[in-house]
Amino acid sequence: EDITAKRKDAHLDLCATGDVEPTGNSTLLECVRLVHCAMPEMAVEDVDLTTTFLGKRLRYPLLVTGMTGGTERAGAVNRDLALVAERHGLAFGVGSQRAMAEDASRTASYAVRQVAPTVALLGNIGLYQAVRLGVDGSRRLMDAIGADGLALHLNAGQELTQPEGDRDFRDGYRVVEALVRAFGDRLLVKETGCGIGPDVARRLVDLGVRNIDVSGLGGTSWVRVEQLRASGVQAELGAEFSAWGIPTAAAIATVRRSVGAEVRLVASGGIRTGLEVAKVLALGADLAGMALPLFRAQQTGGVEGAEAALGVILAGLRQALVLTGSRSCAELRQRPRVVTGELKDWLAAL
């Protein structure tokens, strides 16, 4: 009964201290240079990055992407990070609600509304878990925590590395179609570190999906996490595939090219600094998402630690806007930028 919850705590341990960001993997954001403006003609306080997401107003275009739930420890992570998101006007997602679907007594570990009454809140469920739950079961998970939307996560790479993982990935679009009919623009489809490319994004949008988090390669690798838990063949396959995926910079730039401006795009996967947030916004993201850095800051320093880490990121983001002479995300996108190296190859191929 406790298998899902136990796995969750093992995942948290590995993510807190393990080598879950393989060296050599890259977002390719180092191939993007924003161009310095020596005469910004603005004050830092002129930077206005307010936006809307899931019908709510955000002060910053940032999402704490879904991580956890199901255990005491996971509950503390959710409450601490949701509180930080509420205070600073970011969006927040809980992790996979599978554990609470299996045992309703775990609902409390996902319940953040007491500390984050107005935050733009995303529930979370895996694509093939949603098959088992159906539309009504998925809606109950959202409603039980007062979520504004539901994140549907895709993780074929992780599943194939997990000994007990799924092996059958048929009928995915059919599941998405049913969910989008029920949830409309409350549904977000996300990857978990291997990236959503332009072809998949286009098909999702054709089905009616209006929010996509590309969650590309370059940050937390779930293939690596499962490799660290596995042995034998599965561990070997994990090692072989921990650099598999579409780098975040390539994913966001090509997906933006392939879908209309009405589609809300989140860029996540390896975003670690305010300057990197600015770069993904310039490449066409509406929001940037982060998981591991805020989780680690919370683990070592609680709410204060997470706020300190976020403070540096927000300062870097504002600085990047000032130094490109941009008051807003719209202005930032009009500024020149230089794209070099491997990212150019990806942009040419996709």
158 binds ligand FNR (CB under 6 A): no
Shortest CA distance to 193 belongs to which of 227, 156, 229, 161? 156
Q: Does 279 bind ligand FNR (CB under 6 A)?
A: no
Rg (CA), the chain: 19
In three-state secondary structure terms, 189 is strand
Instruction: List all residues 6 or more positions away from 185 whose beta carbon is below 8 Å from its beta carbon.
Output: 210, 211
- Does 106 contact ligand FNR by CB under 6 A? no
Q: Which is nearer to ligand FNR, 192 or 234 (CB)?
A: 192
Q: Is the dihedral of CA 245, 248, 253, 255 positive or negative?
A: positive
Q: Is the Cβ–Cβ distance between 89 and 56 less than 8 Å?
A: no
251 or 322: CB nearest ligand FNR: 251
Instruction: Answer yes or no whether residue 291 interacts with ligand FNR by CB under 6 A.
Output: yes
Q: How many CB atoms lie within 10 A of CB 289?
A: 27
Amino acid identity of 109? S
DSSP 105: G
| 95 belongs to the binding site for ligand FNR (CB under 6 A) | yes
Pairing relationship of beta strands 211-213 and 187-190 according to DSSP bridges: parallel
Q: Is residue 288 a contact residue for ligand FNR (CB under 6 A)? A: no
Site string for ligand FNR, 118-157 (x = CB under 6 A): ------x--------------------------x-x----
Which residue's entry shows tokens 């291997």? 194
Q: Contact between 66 and ligand FNR (CB under 6 A)?
A: yes
User: At its nearest, how many Å lie between ligand FNR and the CB of residue 44?
Assistant: 26
Strand bridging mode 56-58 / 287-290 = unpaired
Minimal distance in Å, beta carbon 141 to ligand FNR? 13
Asked if 274 is part of the footprint of ligand FNR (rule: CB under 6 A), the reply reads: no
Name which of 109 and 324 has its Cβ closer to ligand FNR: 109
Shortest gap between Cβ of 260 and ligand FNR (angstroms)?
24
The count of residues interacting with ligand FNR (CB under 6 A) is 26
How many whole angstroms separate alpha carbon 323 and alpha carbon 34? Answer: 9
Q: Which is nearer to ligand FNR, 49 or 150 (CB)?
A: 150
Q: Which residues are at the interface with ligand FNR (CB under 6 A)?
A: 11-12, 15, 65-68, 95-96, 124, 151, 153, 190, 192-193, 215, 219-220, 268-271, 290-292, 295
